[in-house]
Each structure stands twice: as C-alpha cells, then as structure tokens.
Chain A
C-alpha cells in the first residue's frame, strides 16, 4: 500500500506573535514545528504500513528549511520525503497549494491513500486536504478519528461529527484528513533520528511538476490576503459610581436610553 502524507511546517503554537507595525506573523526566531495535526497523519500512515506493508511518502510544500519537518517524519517511520519548493509557489492560497500538492502526488506515481491533518495551526482553513482530493478526482473523508479497516480496495473510517461519528466506506485511492483522536504519535528512536539526518530529501521545483505555471503561487490564487490584524478590543462596559441613589438614577437613565425601560 502506497501512502502519501501531506505535512506542513508551521510556527510553534505557543509562540505566535504579530508584528504591530506590519500586522504580519513574526517568523524570525520563532521555532518551526510540524503542524501538530499532521503528526497524527504520519503516525496513522506508519501504522498502516506496519500492518500491511507498503511505503509512506511524506510531502510538503514550503521553503528549503521545511526539509527539517520532513526529516522529523522520517525519524518516526516514513520511508521517503519530497519537498516541493520554488519561489514560484510563494503567496499560494489553498487552491494553488492544493493544485501544487496534487501535481506532486501525481508525479510520485499516485497513492492508494493520501492522509493529511484536519487543518494547519497557522492557516486554519481545513481546505487543502479536500481540495487535493478534488484536483485528483478522488473521494475523500475529513475529520477521520479511526480507520476501521483498509483492505480489498476499500477504506472504512469513522468520521467525527458534532454529536457523534459517521461510518463511511471509500474506495481506494482516496484522501482522508485526520483528527487527534485517531492515535498517539510515537516518539522518534535514536536510530530513526540518525537515519533521518543522513537521508536525502528529494526537492521538486515548479518546472519539475510540469503544470501551467500560472496556477502556482500568487498568480494561481483567487483569494488574496488584503490585511492581517489583531482584532481591536472594544470596551463596552461602564462602571457606575457614586452613592446608591446616584447609581440607581444613572442605571435607570441608561436603561431608558437603550430602550430597555
């Protein structure tokens, strides 16, 4: 079984800061981590491989330093890592990102199952997984909390919904995104870390993907970020002071003003 796992390197969750002048995320000096939801995707893929054989390929789109995130996935059992990296990919929204990732998945030779985290910590959209499925014209299930079975060209999963879970059956190949309830990711082993350190990360550029370059990056993104800002806190309360009589008078006055009385 060939499994492709989509991961993303994101700023460490506890340290997100916004530059007050430019209103953009401060990334300098901020620890980069593997998007936590993706670690469950990697673990689930490795477990499937351990149970059924096959290979696990981790794939990410990002700057060259995102290779570190791929190495982390290799240290916990992924077999192969591909970094899709090019200045042409910069400024991609979820559509351009998923288009790029789908092209890369095709270039790997395709997968029986594509697994991603339910969303990323920084973008938070939850769109990339399903969009990849649409680009590849594959069935998908989001918020998967359990893979009940994966054999006979079928995947049976439990999908988390607000008041319980749904059981879905999908033909493979297919795409799923997973929630943290699905497993407890293992810690790396020393031998895994050392092997990952030495491992070669395959890097593909825009040209390597052989697609219409206009569909990558900013030019392939119908949504544009106009502004990023921290919402202003508006103080709405008013402390009423004075003697009890004065306070009651002021309160009644206020309530009449607002039409409550």
Chain B
C-alpha cells in the first residue's frame, strides 16, 4: 500500500526501523526475560532526535505531527512492543504539557524531553480505572504549594521518567470537576515509587506505583486551572490513542512477518507448510487485517494532523480496531507456527503477550466502544 508519506516521514520511518533492527532486535528477548528497562535504547532514540519529533520547534523539537509519531511507534513495536512503550508513554506524559502547559512550563520541560528525557502520565488508581472520576489522590493548596497525598497505580515509566503529569482531586465535592493536573518532577520530596509490577507482556517496560506522602509541588506546576484535571486527561488520551493503535499495528506486523517467514521454511509432508491452503488463508487474513488497521490508524492520525477540533471517535476507532487486530494476528501467528510458535525460542509468543495490553490500557476496548457510540449518538442529535 502506498500511504503517500512525505520524504521526511520516510526518513523518520527508516531511521526508526534501523534502530529497531540494529539496537532492539538483538536484546528484546533478554529484556523481556529479565524485565529490564531499555535504558540504552532510549538513549539511542534520544540521540537520534526521535524525542524531538513531537516537540514544537520553538522548544528544540522538530514540530512533527501524530502520524510522524505513529510511524516511530509502529516501527519499534514491529520488533518489540515493550521497548516502544517506554517511548510512547513519554509522549503520553508530555501531551498534557503540549496541550495545556503555559509558556514557562513548556520552556522548562519540553527541551529536556526533546533531548531524550522520559515522561509519564499518572491517572489510574486502585479504585479508579475505567471509572477515572473515583480518584482518591488529593492536592490541597497551602501557600505557594499544593500538598499531594495518595497512590497512583500501574504507571508506565514509573521510576524511569523525569517528569510525571499527575491527576489529583483539588475539590472532592465537585466530583469530576474537582480534579486538577500537576507536573511533578522526579526527586521531589515526598514522591517515591512503590511496587514494580510483574506483567504478562511488555515486560521491558516499567510499571510501578507512585506514592505521594505530603509531597509539596509549587503552584506554578498546576496545568491549566483547578478543576480542569479531567479535561486534561480526556484530551490527552484522545491524542495519544493513535499511538496505541500504531503500537498494535507494529506488533501485528511483526507477528505476521514471523509467521510468513516460518511458513515458507517449515517443511511438513515434503513441502513448506505455506503450500497448504489452510495456512495460506490464515496468512491472507492476517495480512488484510494488519493493512486495514494501519490504514485506519494513519487516517485517524491524519485527521488530527489536519486540524480536526474533535477526534475522540476517530482516535478510539483506531485504538480499538488495531488492538483487536494485534491480538488476533499475534494469536494466529502462534497458531501458524504451531509448537514452535509456543516456544520462547521464537518471538511470537512474546508478541501475543505484548498484544494483549493494547486492548486494555489507555481505556479498555469496551470503553473505546462506549466513546465511539456516544459520539455516534451525539452526531445524530446535531
């Protein structure tokens, strides 16, 4: 398929692919096995300017769009969805500052991210998952500071990021309108990391608790205004969901390629198994699904890049569709490869484990369907 990428986009994609194949491929199995954070690979990606892509030029970035981002995430995910997440989660943690930061906040944070610094986004809590309005973490104003108390759960890049965008309640009585968003720097007194989770997939990515115990954050770290926390969170997720879609497309593409290669090499009954129609049809279905997911993801990204005011439906469609495809294609890749596919010696069992999370995080696919349906209903009322 010709997606009419610009010369610059092709350069970005090619560089990301080179990094994936030269730096990620040789270590992905080990990072997965040891649950080790890809510190060196993040440094390579930073040195190669890949963190500059999503930062505006006035803050030492390259002013790229959502599609540019998606190309990078897809290429890294094609080799390792876990490594790609450490990068994508930085984008997620940076979006609130890109969308809602004031000049001082942007000047302070964005050049450091552009140079390869990591960020994280902290919304989820033990009792606030899909029901994000049930946040228990509080931020109480005290002079020139806010004092944050509470525990965030399952925070990607926890312990590795330099900047955290944290959603906390400044006025519990107002419910979802009482939430606010704060920038919290690593090392702030009263801010520590809790349990590091052991996960099914994306195991090179770090997932931890964030613990705030009378953590003082200066008032200047408040993003937007008090009470805007949920708007910040929802707009952030709308903008980051194409990135999850791209991660899913990359995982699916990687799994499909492994299955195709294997089917051409594996001999059974005196011929390569790709000669059997049963296998051919599976591969044809996989190829179609991956391409459809990619097309929808790029279309959603382009819709946003073209300046659409509202794009939550498109972003959710891409995230939901692509992640369902990733799970199906990765599962079929294991099936095509049979016993080999199930063994850790081959990469597809990991891809299947990695694919699963894309159906769950940044809003489960059930929540995505709610978002899509709510938009469909809203459109009929216009």
Contacts and interface: CB of A to CB of B under 8 A. Distances in A.
Interface of A: 186-194, 197
Interface residues of B, number: 16
Contacts of A187: 15, 18-19, 22-23, 44, 47-48
Given A190-B62, A192-B49, 5 more contacts: A186-B47, A187-B22, A187-B23, A189-B49, A190-B15
Contacts of A193: 11, 15
A93 B49 CA distance: 41
A144 B289 CA distance: 52
B52 A191 contact: yes
A190 B49 CA distance: 6
Contact of B50 (A186, A190, A197): A190
Interface string B61-82: 0100000000000000000000
Nearest to A193: B11
25 contacts: A187-B18, A187-B19, A187-B23, A187-B44, A187-B47, A187-B48, A188-B15, A188-B48, A189-B47, A189-B49, A190-B12, A190-B15, A190-B48, A190-B49, A190-B50, A190-B52, A190-B53, A191-B49, A191-B52, A191-B62, A192-B49, A193-B11, A193-B15, A194-B11, A197-B11
A206 B98 CA distance: 54
Contacts of B50: 190
Nearest to A191: B49
Contacts of A192: 49
A48 to B, nearest CB: 18
Interface string B4-35: 00001001100100110011000000000000
Nearest to B18: A187
> What 7 A-B pairs come out closest when comparing CB atoms?
A190-B49, A189-B49, A189-B48, A191-B49, A187-B48, A193-B11, A190-B15
Nearest to A187: B48
Question: Which among B15, B22, B50, B62 has the highest number of chain A CB atoms within 10 Å?
Answer: B15
B75 to A, nearest CB: 13
B134 to A, nearest CB: 42
A191 B63 CA distance: 12
A190 B15 CA distance: 8
B13 to A, nearest CB: 11
B100 to A, nearest CB: 27
A191 B116 CA distance: 14
A186 B22 CA distance: 11
A72 to B, nearest CB: 12
Contacts of A190: 11-12, 15, 48-50, 52-53, 62
A87 B373 CA distance: 68
A186 B46 CA distance: 12
A194 B64 CA distance: 14
A186 B15 CA distance: 12
Interface in B322-347: none
Task: Determine which residue in B19, B23, B49 has the highest number of CB atoms from chain A within 10 A of its CB, and name it.
Answer: B49
A194 B23 CA distance: 22
A186 B47 CA distance: 9
Contacts of B18: 187
A191 B11 CA distance: 11
Contacts of B11: 190, 193-194, 197
Contacts of B8: 194
A25 to B, nearest CB: 26
A194 B62 CA distance: 11
A123 to B, nearest CB: 26
A99 B53 CA distance: 45
B26 to A, nearest CB: 13
Nearest to B7: A197
A192 B47 CA distance: 11
A187 to B, nearest CB: 5
A186 B52 CA distance: 18
A153 to B, nearest CB: 32
Q: Looking at A188, A190, A191, A192, which has the most chain B CB atoms within 10 Å of its CB?
A: A190
A193 to B, nearest CB: 6
A75 to B, nearest CB: 10
A185 B175 CA distance: 55
A191 B50 CA distance: 10
A149 to B, nearest CB: 26
Nearest to B49: A190
A76 to B, nearest CB: 10
B341 to A, nearest CB: 28
Nearest to B53: A190
A107 B15 CA distance: 35
A229 to B, nearest CB: 33
A191 B114 CA distance: 12
Contacts of B62: 190-191
A193 B7 CA distance: 12
Contacts of A189: 47-49
A210 to B, nearest CB: 38
A193 B8 CA distance: 10
A190 B10 CA distance: 11
B44 to A, nearest CB: 6
B315 to A, nearest CB: 25
Contacts of A191: 49, 52, 62
